[in-house]
Chains A and B, each alone.
Chain A
Amino acid sequence: MSATLPDINIALPNGATARRVEDEFHGDLLEISLGPHHPSTHGVFRMNATLDGEIITTLKPVFGYLHRNHEKLGETNSYLANIPYTDRLDYLASLTNNWAYVHAVEKLAGFVPTERCEYLRVILGELSRIINHVCLVGFLLNDLGTSFTPLLYSLRERERMLDLLEELTGARMMYNFMRFGGLRTDVSADWLARLKTYLEGLFARYLDEQDALLTGNEILLARTQGTGVLKPGLAINAGITGPGLRASGVDYDIRKVDKYSIYERFDFRVPLGEHGDTYDRYMMRMLEMRESVKIILQAMRDLPEGPVNDPKAKSRGLRPKAGEAYGRIECPKGELGFYLISDGTPNPYRYRVRPPSFINLTVLEDMCVGQTLADAVITLGSIDIVLGEVDR
């Protein structure tokens, strides 16, 4: 071997040897297809990347593997029957999907939810934001190669919250809990008390521990700072929403802008990043979880008594008057909107989901070009996509 290729190994000054890079190969582009079955792609998602050495020169996202034409299904179902289907969009935060859909239908049909219902929706919506961010932090660290410890701690806490939600709604992920102008059932004081104990006890401890474990960790800083940078101008133009946008320093939170539901009654802050890199996007999630806990505790404090369902609103056999409505809320991943057109029949004429994960992927290539392949994986992880929502 050494006879035919005498100089393939170069001796380094410290005594080690390195393999020489053949000059005629240098600069050749390597096309690789990452996914669709790859653990780093969070589902069936493919990235067609072109590499120069280890540096990405182009990257085309390919998806649709989970496409089931959710919107067509929505046009053949009654308004009520669509609620369980919305659970299956972003299955890590189903309650906010329910909420966005009933919010749009309430706009379409002119229903007003009751006071108590609004408070409970805020509690449940913020709880599902926490569940989503807990997952994100765990999976992002998994993408970084921190095999399993932070993910396991995150899933342990998520499990406790899912147990609480199972007790309330009967299911762990596909809750099907919100109804037009209300909720399916009322929430007991005992359940709320237990949620409060949990958030102030074990969950607060989890947040502190996760912060101590990760936020100041030198390896995490080295891997995430300065990678996957998204400039605010591009972020706005490309319609990025949610923590990904705020990490770039754009102060835009639909809870504050639209003041939908009763969010203007709560005192909470919108965390903003400065650099728009992966670390900022990670920090947004850690900080938003603390703000969500604050909102939940305030909502529990102010929760009024009263009916949970609007007696005028009906869920079964709903036939809204002809017209259209676009309703949007701030879901954990960004702006989740539903655009509905009614023609007076029991089925929507047009049922459109504005999926935040899908639109946030628009700039994936811009964020990854010039980075190494390993950074592309964590950039994708920090965008936070769920393929159930991207592919619909």
Chain B
Amino acid sequence: MLGSGIIKGFYITAKNFVGSFFTTERLTTIQYPEVRAKLPHASRSFPFLVYDGDSPIDGLRCVACRICEKECPPQCIYIVAERDEKGKIMKKPRIFDIDYSVCMGCQICVEACPFDSIKMDNVYEIAVRDRYEGLLMHRDQLAKPNSYFHHINATDATEVDNRLAEEKRKAEEKARAAAAAKAAAAAKAAADAAVAQAAKPATPPVPETK
């Protein structure tokens, strides 16, 4: 019958309209900003820097290795390492800038970082009045505590914490073993020297430098 398709269509729209009062399955929108959809843990927007402890400068995990700067596809990261009084490069950034207006949130910096220091934030309301400087994020704006990372993505943050703790424990064990071995070797060398050349003073073993 001509028109039956149209009548069927009206039935569907009526079902959706009435249904939207009773079930969220039929509902299309929510009332932002009063109501906000819950973001999933993996949700990402822009990168930030994680710091441990209380100091956003001393606690930064970043060692200014510049791998992320090199890997970043749109080249929005800019890093200059800190130097001490003698001009020697230190393992932390003096400048760490991310241009949020250029960043495309691809997460490649996070994958590239070997120190788990750069992670993805999930803020999305970052509108500013100044188009240029306002979205150029500096080190102090980017640094956020580890507790914040736990807050936005507890699964990943716990996993990273456990991994870092494990690495630290292993490094400590290794250092302890190395120190013990060095002490033993030193004692042995001292004993040997004492036996062989009682007249000459034993030279202390040179500590290993890395």
Question: Do A and B share a direct contact in the complex (Cβ within 8 angstroms)?
Answer: yes
Interface residue A167 (Cβ < 8 Å from any Cβ of B): yes
**Surface stretch bound by A, among B55-63, B91-99, B101-109, B197-205:** B101-109
- State whether A84 touches B3 (Cβ < 8 A): no
**Surface stretch bound by A, among B9-17, B80-88, B171-179:** B9-17
Q: Size band of the A side of the interface? A: 35 or more
Chain A residues with CB under 8 Å of B111's CB are 184, 316
**Which one of A81, A83, A220 has the highest number of Cβ atoms from chain B below 10 Å of its Cβ?**
A81
Chain B residues with CB under 8 Å of A171's CB are 43-44, 105
Interface residue B50 (Cβ < 8 Å from any Cβ of A): no
Interface residue B180 (Cβ < 8 Å from any Cβ of A): no
**Surface stretch bound by B, among A33-41, A100-108, A208-216, A383-391:** A208-216
State the total of A-B contacts with C-beta under 8 angstroms: 81
- State whether B5 touches A218 (Cβ < 8 A): yes
From the candidates A83, A84, A87, A156, name the one contacting B28 in the complex (CB within 8 A): A156
Interface residue B33 (Cβ < 8 Å from any Cβ of A): no
Residue of A nearest to B3 (CB): A218
A89 to chain B: closest CB distance in Å? Answer: 14
Chain A residues with CB under 8 Å of B3's CB are 218
Chain B residues with CB under 8 Å of A252's CB are none
B139 to chain A: closest CB distance in Å? Answer: 24
A203 to chain B: closest CB distance in Å? Answer: 11
Per-residue CB proximity of A162-204 to B under 8 Å, as 1/0?
A: 0100111111001010000000100000000000000000100
Give Cα A153 to B15, complex, Å.
12
* SS class, residues of chain A in contact with chain B: helix
A386 to chain B: closest CB distance in Å? Answer: 18
Interface residue B25 (Cβ < 8 Å from any Cβ of A): yes
Give Cα A215 to B25, complex, Å.
23
B10 to chain A: closest CB distance in Å? Answer: 9
- State whether B44 touches A170 (Cβ < 8 A): yes
Give Cα A209 to B15, complex, Å.
10
Chain A residues with CB under 8 Å of B42's CB are 166-170
B122 to chain A: closest CB distance in Å? Answer: 9
B119 to chain A: closest CB distance in Å? Answer: 11
Residue of A nearest to B16 (CB): A153
From the candidates B2, B25, B40, B108, name the one contacting A218 in the complex (CB within 8 A): B2
Give Cα A77 to B13, complex, Å.
49
From the candidates B44, B73, B112, name the one contacting A85 in the complex (CB within 8 A): B73
- State whether B106 touches A176 (Cβ < 8 A): yes
Give Cα A184 to B108, complex, Å.
10
Interface residue B210 (Cβ < 8 Å from any Cβ of A): no
Interface residue B71 (Cβ < 8 Å from any Cβ of A): yes
Give Cα A169 to B8, complex, Å.
39
Interface residue A293 (Cβ < 8 Å from any Cβ of B): no
Q: Size band of the B side of the interface? A: 20 to 34
- State whether B13 touches A149 (Cβ < 8 A): yes
- Interface positions, chain A 50-84, Cβ under 8 Å from B, are 77-78, 80-84
Chain A residues with CB under 8 Å of B27's CB are 156
Residue of B nearest to A168 (CB): B42
Chain B residues with CB under 8 Å of A82's CB are 73
- State whether A84 touches B73 (Cβ < 8 A): yes
From the candidates A77, A217, A316, name the one contacting B5 in the complex (CB within 8 A): A217
Interface residue B120 (Cβ < 8 Å from any Cβ of A): yes
Residue of A nearest to B44 (CB): A170
From the candidates B9, B104, B107, name the one contacting A214 in the complex (CB within 8 A): B9
Interface residue B126 (Cβ < 8 Å from any Cβ of A): no
Interface residue A155 (Cβ < 8 Å from any Cβ of B): yes
Residue of A nearest to B8 (CB): A212
Interface residue B206 (Cβ < 8 Å from any Cβ of A): no
Residue of B nearest to A184 (CB): B111
Interface residue A152 (Cβ < 8 Å from any Cβ of B): yes
Interface residue A21 (Cβ < 8 Å from any Cβ of B): no
- State whether B9 touches A217 (Cβ < 8 A): yes
**Which one of A78, A170, A217 has the highest number of Cβ atoms from chain B below 10 Å of its Cβ?**
A170
Interface residue B6 (Cβ < 8 Å from any Cβ of A): yes
Show the binding face of B for A, using Cβ within 8 Å: 2-6, 8-9, 11-13, 15-16, 25, 27-28, 40-44, 71-73, 104-108, 111-112, 120
- Apart from the given pairs A170-B107, A316-B112, 19 other A-B contacts in the complex at a CB distance below 8 Å: A77-B73, A78-B71, A80-B108, A81-B73, A152-B28, A156-B28, A167-B42, A170-B43, A170-B120, A171-B105, A174-B105, A184-B111, A209-B15, A213-B12, A216-B5, A217-B5, A217-B6, A217-B8, A218-B5
Closest 4 CB pairs of A and B: A84-B106, A81-B73, A216-B5, A167-B40
